[in-house]
């Protein structure tokens, strides 16, 4: 590490609130799958900004779209029509099969806040003031603002901030009986991640998700999918629910929708789309001209470069290779996930040590908790880059 890193680390310690345990590296630039630090060293990125850079780093089409829009119009607020915002809403509706209306915001946690408010507005209008409860899953993660945190099913992230907002019930994922028992006349929505990300990359069972859809229809409850991490072709299809064949009433997006630039979105269809009235919700910067231009360019590139297909193919190859590595070394308890949203669960509780050792060898990985490695590479990831990951990981697993 050079003098610049040491100076910035000192500034960080002196002037930033300590909400992140930053890694000992200073990245200066990126290109596709690759990152380069202040010493000129090259890394393969299997984190992609926690799934926020699905196209890879510094995609030229996104850079050009942002630069062009920056020169013409940056901000006018949501009091006025914006051409790119309308085009992006139409594009997202089409990708999701039509019939959707969108509210744009700035992040995944804002999208969660918007979706929860929409569900409560819908529930109270439909069944009265007591209809505001939301059922979510244990191990889920929906964000760090208060409603999103209250919806999150991880007590370790909530305890320091109690009391939480009332009206949230958590049930085990893939347990239909538990969900059925948790839905009451006061329930307005069920909120699930089709593939839990922050909780350790746990996919919903396909039969379970179909049964949840039927249960929500039977009880007249909204089904909300959090696609903040699994959306934008990460699991192969534009949205993970399409791979299950289960359409929600409300959907949350963020992260890679503008390939690393801050954006969030709440999409609603059917009755849910009519729940909000002017003044019920809003965002100063959500859906601005620059971010929507970036998102349109991102979707163009994701589709034009067929990165959903690559996510399925390379993800399948990576999963098989990780399972083979686990059989050969005995170091992996389980490999799970969909597309290029994978987790390798280690037998030993040394995920952070493994991720640190991989970083020293030029591989960027994310450790979740004590024994889970999360793999979220850009969707441009190739088989030879996956082989480099596996070779490095095998060396590290033998050494730590």
220 is catalytic: no
Residues 6+ apart with CB under 8 A from 202: 139, 173, 195, 196, 336
Q: Which two tokens stand for residue 386?
A: 């996956």
Q: Which two tokens stand for residue 217?
A: 């229809």
Sign, CA torsion 207/208/209/211:
positive
**Integer Cα distance of 288 and 104 in angstroms:** 9
- Exposure of 233 in the CB half-sphere (CA atoms within 13 A): 30
**Integer Cα distance of 45 and 55 in angstroms:** 12
141 is catalytic: yes
Chain-centroid distance, C-alpha 173: 18
Catalytic residue among 141, 168, 225, 276: 141
Place of tokens 């995920």: 351
**Integer Cα distance of 356 and 5 in angstroms:** 17
Vertex 254: Cα angle to 271 and 68 (nearest 5): 115
255 is catalytic: yes
Q: How many residues are there in the chain?
A: 400
Catalytic residue among 37, 104, 255, 276: 255
Q: Facing residues of 187 across strands?
A: 133
**Integer Cα distance of 223 and 3 in angstroms:** 52
Vertex 185: Cα angle to 184 and 187 (nearest 5): 65
Catalytic residue among 104, 226, 239, 276: 226
Q: Which two tokens stand for residue 66?
A: 């942002």
Place of tokens 């060396």: 395
Q: Kindly list the distances between the CA atom of residue 335 and the CA atoms of 327, 356, 371, in Å, as whole numbers in the listed order.
A: 11, 20, 12
**Integer Cα distance of 252 and 266 in angstroms:** 5
From first CA to last CA, the distance across the chain in angstroms is 22
Chain-centroid distance, C-alpha 271: 26
What totals of helices (H) and strands (E) does the chain contain, helices first? 14, 17
Active site amino acids = 141, 226, 255
């Amino acid at each position: 590490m050079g003098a610049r890193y040491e100076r910035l680390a000192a500034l960080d310690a002196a002037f930033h609130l300590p909400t992140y345990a930053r890694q000992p590296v200073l990245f200066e630039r990126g290109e596709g799958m690759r990152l380069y630090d202040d010493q000129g060293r090259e890394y393969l990125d299997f984190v992609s900004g926690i799934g926020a850079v699905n196209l890879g780093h510094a995609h030229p089409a996104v850079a050009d779209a942002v630069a062009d829009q920056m020169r013409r119009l940056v901000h006018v607020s949501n009091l006025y029509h914006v051409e790119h915002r309308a085009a992006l809403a139409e594009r997202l509706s089409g990708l999701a099969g039509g019939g959707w209306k969108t509210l744009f915001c700035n992040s995944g946690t804002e999208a969660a806040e918007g979706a929860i408010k929409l569900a409560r507005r819908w529930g109270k209008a439909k069944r009265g003031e007591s209809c505001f409860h939301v059922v979510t899953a244990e191990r889920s993660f929906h964000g760090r603002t208060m409603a999103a945190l209250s919806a999150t099913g991880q007590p370790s992230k909530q305890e320091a901030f109690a009391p939480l907002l009332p009206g949230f019930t958590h049930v085990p994922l893939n347990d239909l009986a538990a969900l059925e028992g948790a839905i009451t006349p006061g329930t307005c929505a069920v909120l699930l991640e089709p593939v839990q990300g922050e909780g350790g990359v746990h996919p919903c069972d396909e039969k379970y998700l179909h049964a949840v859809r039927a249960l929500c229809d039977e009880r007249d409850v909204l089904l909300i999918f959090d696609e903040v991490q699994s959306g934008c072709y990460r699991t192969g299809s534009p949205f993970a629910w399409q791979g299950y064949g289960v359409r929600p009433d409300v959907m949350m997006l963020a992260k890679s929708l503008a390939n690393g630039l801050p954006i969030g979105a709440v999409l609603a269809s059917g009755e849910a789309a009519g729940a909000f009235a002017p003044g019920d919700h809003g965002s100063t910067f959500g859906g601005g001209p620059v971010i929507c231009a970036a998102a349109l360019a991102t979707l163009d590139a994701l589709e034009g470069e067929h990165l959903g297909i690559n996510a399925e193919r390379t993800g399948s190859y990576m999963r098989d290779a990780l399972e083979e590595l686990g059989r050969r070394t005995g170091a992996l308890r389980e490999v799970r996930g969909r597309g290029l949203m994978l987790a390798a669960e280690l037998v030993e509780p040394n995920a952070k040590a493994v991720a640190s050792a991989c970083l020293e060898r030029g591989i960027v990985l994310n450790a979740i908790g004590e024994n889970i490695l999360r793999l979220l590479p850009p969707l441009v990831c190739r088989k030879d880059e996956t082989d480099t990951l596996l070779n490095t990981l095998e060396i590290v697993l033998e050494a730590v």
